[in-house]
């Protein structure tokens, strides 16, 4: 019993400031040895800063961090590592051109010289012992993201880590990948490693952690409390805080992972078969390109007031499909119509004029120009519908942008600030305000909630539902099956560039999962 209660890491009144911004304020918390601790909060709640502070990457402005009862000299990452603390970053830090063995050696250089083969043998044994299925001779850049993360974790464990900190490890993973990760974390716990895992999905917290602590606005609002003593609803309230608007019942259900109450709205689903579709793809195929498998014979119909979910393991042609609909991948065969208009050979500009809107996969690359001003980002779509040499009045655009951003509840200080200065959720709201205007008829939402906290996720769902109520046709691409099953009127599954299944409510997770992995029913 006393073994279990032993404190491995303790923070006393830790505050971190970045300039004027207080990222963490007066956080006092301690974590017991040999357990899995979750730290949750919305984006901007201070989770990543917390992870960096306890791993010595960021030095606190006030307070102290004690590991095994010994104070950690402020911001000393080497001292922290010697004390057995290892951090696995949110975005990976392995050099892409290295082989796995080289990357492992890079973290653990022991001053000895190895031949290439010797190096690979050495690390292959180690990786095998951790049950990481990868060849030590493979290049980092060739690894799928799940494997990459396993390698990162394996690397963190080289130096005999006793406290492993994972910063949003599931953000980049598919649901199956997350399951595998959780098994790995439980295995680590079994061998005596204490794990602190930063998360923002409640159901993941409840699935993996022993205790949970909640950060909000840099303050510790709860915890660590035993997960057995808290339910999803209570946790959601703690994370969002009292200021949040009340969530719709089905949204709350989706956030907390209880699916039974969802689909209430689907009962009233009208007979849509008679309505002219907004988007129609007839036997569409594309040529092979670098973005995954080409499309083969895709037939797809989305009618007004319908959210069509596109499920599938990532990399099965979803990107190519979005690009084909957006005229960014050439349609080699077949026909695409938007609102009855044949746009197979039309440019994206023409398709957008017909009512197409796209919320792209990569928010920070395809959706926004981070170093440009908010108003420029916001007005790009509209400006492209005019002749290039038409005169514009920036002051008027700025004013209209401000009005729009206010209406979409974007937190910003000035429309001339750079888009990159917004948090993920706010950045996504800027994109929504641009792509979900009144003239929108067909909205392609590609992973619109990826990486967002639950407040912003609920906002996105709410917006999609409102657009549906207005009569828009929506294509929602997501790797989060819960999300898809909660808000879609119909679900299609893609595998290797083909549509392999269509599902209607009530959904059966097992059926959809089988279609995604190609297991015949």
Contact positions vs another protein (CB under 8 A): 19-20, 326, 328, 347-349, 351-352, 358, 360, 362, 365-372, 376-377, 379-381, 383-394, 397, 416
Q: Which residue has the tokens 């916001």?
A: 378
- Token code pair at residue 247: 């969530």
All residues at 6 or more sequence positions from 216 whose CB lies less than 8 Å from its CB, including other chains: 41, 42, 45, 238, 239, 241
Helices (H), 195-317: 202-208, 232-240, 249-256
Cβ closer to another protein: 297 or 366?
366
Torsion, Cα of 184, 92, 322, 301 (10° steps): 20
Alpha-carbon torsion (21, 460, 362, 216), positive or negative:
positive
Measured at the CA of 462, the angle between CA 459 and CA 466, to 5 degrees, comes to: 140
Cβ closer to another protein: 155 or 398?
398
Nearest to 101 by CA among 138, 153, 143: 138
CB of 50 to another protein, least distance (A): 24
Cβ closer to another protein: 97 or 349?
349
Beta-bridge partner residues of 499? 494
Cβ closer to another protein: 222 or 376?
376
Cβ closer to another protein: 7 or 380?
380
Measuring CA to CA, how many Å separate 140 from each of 98, 104, 132, 315? 6, 11, 14, 18
All residues at 6 or more sequence positions from 136 whose CB lies less than 8 Å from its CB, including other chains: 99, 100, 101, 104, 119, 120, 121, 123, 124, 127
Do the Cβ atoms of 132 and 150 come closer than 8 Å?
Answer: yes
CB of 252 to another protein, least distance (A): 33
CB of 348 to another protein, least distance (A): 4
CB of 368 to another protein, least distance (A): 6
CB of 372 to another protein, least distance (A): 5
Cβ closer to another protein: 161 or 444?
444
Cβ closer to another protein: 19 or 111?
19
CB of 287 to another protein, least distance (A): 18
Taking phi first (over 0 means left), then psi (-120 to 50 degrees means alpha), and beta for anything else, what does residue 181 get?
A: alpha
- Separation of alpha carbons 35 and 30, rounded Å: 12
Cβ closer to another protein: 168 or 376?
376
Do the Cβ atoms of 489 and 521 come closer than 8 Å?
Answer: no
CB of 392 to another protein, least distance (A): 6
CB of 393 to another protein, least distance (A): 7
CB of 274 to another protein, least distance (A): 32
Cβ closer to another protein: 218 or 360?
360
- Separation of alpha carbons 153 and 132, rounded Å: 10
CB of 417 to another protein, least distance (A): 9
10 Å Cβ neighbour count for 73?
13
- Token code pair at residue 512: 């959809």
Cβ closer to another protein: 236 or 430?
430
């Amino acid at each position: 019993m006393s073994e279990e209660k032993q404190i491995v890491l303790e923070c006393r009144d830790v505050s971190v400031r970045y300039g004027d911004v207080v990222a963490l304020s007066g956080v006092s918390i301690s974590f017991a040895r040999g357990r899995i601790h979750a730290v949750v909060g919305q984006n901007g709640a201070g989770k990543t800063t917390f992870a960096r502070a306890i791993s010595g990457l960021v030095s606190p402005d006030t307070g102290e961090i004690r590991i095994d009862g010994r104070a950690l000299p402020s911001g000393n990452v080497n001292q922290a590592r010697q004390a057995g603390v290892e951090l696995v970053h949110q975005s990976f830090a392995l050099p892409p051109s290295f082989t796995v063995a080289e990357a492992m050696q890079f973290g653990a250089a022991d001053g000895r010289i190895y031949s290439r083969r010797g190096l690979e043998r050495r690390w292959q044994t180690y990786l095998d012992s951790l049950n990481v299925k990868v060849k030590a001779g493979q290049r980092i850049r060739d690894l799928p993201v799940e494997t990459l993360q396993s390698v990162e974790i394996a690397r963190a464990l080289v130096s005999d880590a006793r406290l492993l900190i994972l910063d949003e490890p599931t953000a980049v993973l598919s649901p199956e990948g997350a399951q595998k990760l959780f098994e790995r974390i439980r295995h680590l716990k079994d061998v005596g490693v204490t794990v602190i895992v930063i998360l923002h999905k409640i159901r993941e917290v409840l699935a993996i952690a022993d205790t949970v602590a909640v950060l909000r606005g840099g303050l510790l609002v709860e915890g660590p409390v035993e997960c057995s003593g808290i339910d999803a609803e209570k946790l959601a309230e703690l994370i969002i805080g009292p200021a949040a608007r009340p969530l719709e019942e089905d949204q709350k259900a989706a956030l907390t992972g209880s699916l039974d109450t969802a689909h209430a709205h689907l009962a009233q689903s009208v007979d849509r078969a008679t309505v002219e579709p907004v988007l129609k793809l007839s036997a569409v195929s594309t040529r092979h390109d670098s973005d995954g498998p080409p499309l083969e014979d895709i037939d797809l119909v989305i009618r007004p007031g319908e959210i069509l979910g596109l499920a599938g393991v990532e990399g099965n042609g979803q990107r190519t499909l979005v690009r084909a609909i957006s005229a960014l991948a050439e349609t080699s065969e077949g026909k695409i119509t938007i609102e009855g208009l044949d746009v197979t050979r039309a440019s994206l500009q023409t398709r957008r004029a017909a009512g197409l809107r796209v919320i792209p996969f990569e928010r920070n690359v395809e959706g926004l120009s981070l170093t440009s001003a908010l108003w420029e980002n916001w007005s790009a779509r509209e400006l492209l519908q005019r002749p290039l040499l038409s005169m514009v009045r920036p002051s008027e655009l700025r004013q209209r942008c401000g009005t729009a951003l206010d209406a979409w509840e974007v937190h910003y200080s000035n429309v001339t600030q750079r888009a990159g200065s917004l948090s993920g959720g706010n950045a996504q709201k800027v994109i929504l305000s641009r792509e979900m205007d009144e003239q929108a008829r067909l909205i392609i939402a590609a992973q619109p909630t990826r990486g967002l906290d639950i407040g912003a996720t609920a906002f996105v769902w709410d917006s999609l539902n409102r657009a549906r109520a207005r009569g828009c046709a929506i294509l929602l691409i997501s790797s989060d099956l819960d999300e898809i099953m909660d808000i879609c009127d119909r679900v299609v599954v893609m595998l290797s560039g083909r549509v392999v299944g269509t599902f209607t409510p009530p959904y059966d997770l097992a059926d959809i999962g089988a279609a995604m992995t190609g297991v015949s029913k």
